[in-house]
Amino acid sequence: MQSNQNPLFRKNPVPWYRSRVFCLAAATIFLLLTLMGLLGIAVARSQPDFHSYAWVPALLSAAAGLLCVFMSVRAWQGGAAGKAREPRRDSSLK
């Protein structure tokens, strides 16, 4: 008798980096990085010697802000990309 290699009762595990908790934690970290970048822009604008370096915190805050939005949307949608899917049945196991 052939054993079933892919039982139906088994769910696919959700990777830890796709969980809602991780998405919210990452969004919080990216929000803090965005605020740090905005603070860096303010400091660069206040010091005449650093006017030419204001693009560095601007780039940091733009990238972190974009990633914060993406992670917030992913957390809002439930972390993982949809519910646990039905396992594919291999047609060669008939």
> Count of alpha carbons within 13 Å of 93, Cβ hemisphere only?
10
| Confidence (pLDDT) at 12 | 73
What is residue 85's predicted lDDT score, i.e. its pLDDT?
A: 47
Q: How far is CA 37 from CA 30, 57, 68, 77, 78, in A?
A: 10, 5, 13, 27, 28
- Output the CA–CA distances (angstroms, integers) from residue 78 to 22, 55, 64, 92, in the order listed: 11, 35, 21, 34
Mean pLDDT for 59-83 is 86
In the predicted model, is pLDDT for residue 60 greater than 70? yes
Q: pLDDT digits over 13-40, tens only?
A: 768 888 899 999 999 999 999 999 999 9
Encoding tokens for residue 32?
């803090």
Cβ-contact 79, 14 below 8 angstroms: yes
What pLDDT does 78 receive?
77
Check if the beta carbon of residue 63 is closer than 8 Å to that of residue 40. Answer: no
Phi and psi, residue 69, nearest 5°: -65, -45
Instruction: Tell me the two tokens of residue 82.
Output: 């949809």
Provide the residue type at 14 as one letter.
V
